Amino acid sequence: MLPLDDRTAERIAEVIVDVGGPYERKGYDLEKLLARANWVQPPEYDGSPRVPWLAEQLIERKHASPEIERLLCRVCDPVEYDDGKVSADEFREVINSKLEAEQLVVSIVGGRPVLGELGADGDTHYSAPGDLEKRLQRLIRDRATIDGLLNRVHETGLCERSGAHTMAIIGIGSFVEGLLLALFLERDAQIREHGFAGRKASTRADRAGLALLIDTAHDKGWIQLDAKDFMHNVREYRNFVHPAAELREKPKFDRDSVTLCWAPVRALLNDLEESIPAIGG
């Protein structure tokens, strides 16, 4: 569980640096890796032994859970390596062996690395990040919007715990819709003033649907293709808010369905944090 124990941080540092191994990272490689994981004010390598140096950085930021999570996922991300999935899978296997004691695991969900929790049953479980409020504060300026999004997540949890799994999934989709809309309104003056440009006509920002928000976030480079595609799956589930769709399809959602929907949301959050400058960063 985050925060990582100091000894786990030291083991993770050994894996990432890979001294004498085929994936050995030099000091400048470590600087670039931390920057690509979008650490706030990433440290400059000081020339000291690399493993203790990286371990020190991990331990110093142990309570900066989003940064640790993004780094763990980045190390296991195929985009980080020239040969893509081959190297990423090797790192993920070793990283997970070090994370097992923390009951954490990096899984590939919809093509993206996502940090989840290992349950007593050995299965991987996903949920809303425990530090979601802090993460939203670094993305969104308006406090009322943050409170509204947090309330939606709270209500989603109530639905899940009471067995209202369809409503929980609808709530997850609604959270993503609100998050993306808030980002467009705060970060894109063109969309804020003129709406979303279309082939024939523009769409007012307050009329944009979740599909348009997801596609535009990808077009702007805010989220990667895999996150976009998997979020569309969540959007399809969210559409069961319409009774006709539910009667027609007769979905049988359960708790596993809800946790699986949180996985692409976590991937989306990681992408947003990597691509959008943090407030106050």
The pLDDT tens digits for 198-211 are: 877 889 998 999 99
61/121 Cα distance (integer angstroms): 30
pLDDT higher than 90, residue 252:
no
- In the numeric block, which tokens belong to residue 35? 């920057």
Average pLDDT for residues 147-168, to the nearest whole number? 95
52/61 Cα distance (integer angstroms): 14
| Residue with more model confidence, 114 or 230 | 114
Q: Where are the domains of the chain?
A: 6-125, 132-275
Question: What percent of the chain shows pLDDT beyond 90?
Answer: 70
pLDDT for the residue numbered 174: 94
20/22 Cα distance (integer angstroms): 7
Nearest to 101 by CA among 15, 7, 17: 7
238/168 Cα distance (integer angstroms): 9
Mean pLDDT rounded to a whole number for the chain = 92
Orientation of helix 210-219 relative to helix 225-238, angle to 10°: 180
What pTM did the predictor assign?
0.82
pLDDT higher than 70, residue 279:
yes
Nearest to 105 by CA among 95, 120, 7: 95
Average pLDDT for residues 211-222, to the nearest whole number? 95
pLDDT higher than 80, residue 216:
yes
Task: Give residue 268's pLDDT band: very low, low, confident or very high (50, 70, 90).
Answer: very high
218/49 Cα distance (integer angstroms): 39
172/265 Cα distance (integer angstroms): 8
Tens digit of pLDDT for each residue in 49-77?
999 999 999 999 999 888 999 999 999 99
pLDDT for the residue numbered 238: 75
pLDDT for the residue numbered 281: 59
Nearest to 273 by CA among 137, 115, 146, 116: 137
pLDDT higher than 80, residue 99:
yes
In the chain, which ranges are continuous DSSP H helix? 6-17, 27-36, 50-60, 65-75, 85-99, 132-137, 143-161, 165-187, 189-194, 210-219, 225-238, 243-249, 255-275
Nearest to 2 by CA among 56, 60, 69: 69
Contact of 274 with 70, CB cutoff 8 Å: yes
| Residue with more model confidence, 197 or 243 | 197
Task: Spell out the residues 6+ positions from residue 39 whose beta carbon is closer than 8 angstroms to its own.
Answer: 61, 67, 70, 71
Contact of 203 with 235, CB cutoff 8 Å: no
- In the numeric block, which tokens belong to residue 38? 């979008």
